[in-house]
Amino acid sequence: MPVKSKNKGGRPKVEINWEQVQTMCRIHCTGEEIAAVLGISYDTLNRGCKREFKEGFAEYYKKGSLAGNTSLRRFSGRARKRAVSL
């Protein structure tokens, strides 16, 4: 007797563009803003983080926004140098 694969049922998993999420974290968009741009709910974004990275969105966001903090400091340092030289 052939073995049938078990149908899990339910909705299919939503594909999340993690590169876009990372970019938006770097420019300090909120989780709700990121979810809105992706066309999903914040809860779906949080579940996706747990599924892909084994951590919630808050932890993922902290790591992603750190790169943005570095960029902001670099940019503000350059702006100060230009203001001083004027």
Rounded average pLDDT per 10-residue block, the chain, 86 residues: 68 91 91 96 96 95 79 64 62
Tell me if 12 is assigned to some domain. no
Q: With contact defined as beta carbons under 8 Å apart, do 65 and 25 qualify? A: yes
Tell me if 1 is assigned to some domain. no
What's the pLDDT score for residue 64? 84
Tell me if 5 is assigned to some domain. no
Expressed as residue numbers, the domain containing 40 is: 18-85
Q: How far is CA 32 from CA 17, 29, 57, in A?
A: 15, 8, 11
Integer Cα distance of 31 and 21 in angstroms = 9
> Rounded to the nearest 5°, which phi and psi values hold at 56?
-70, 170
Structural domains in the chain (count): 1
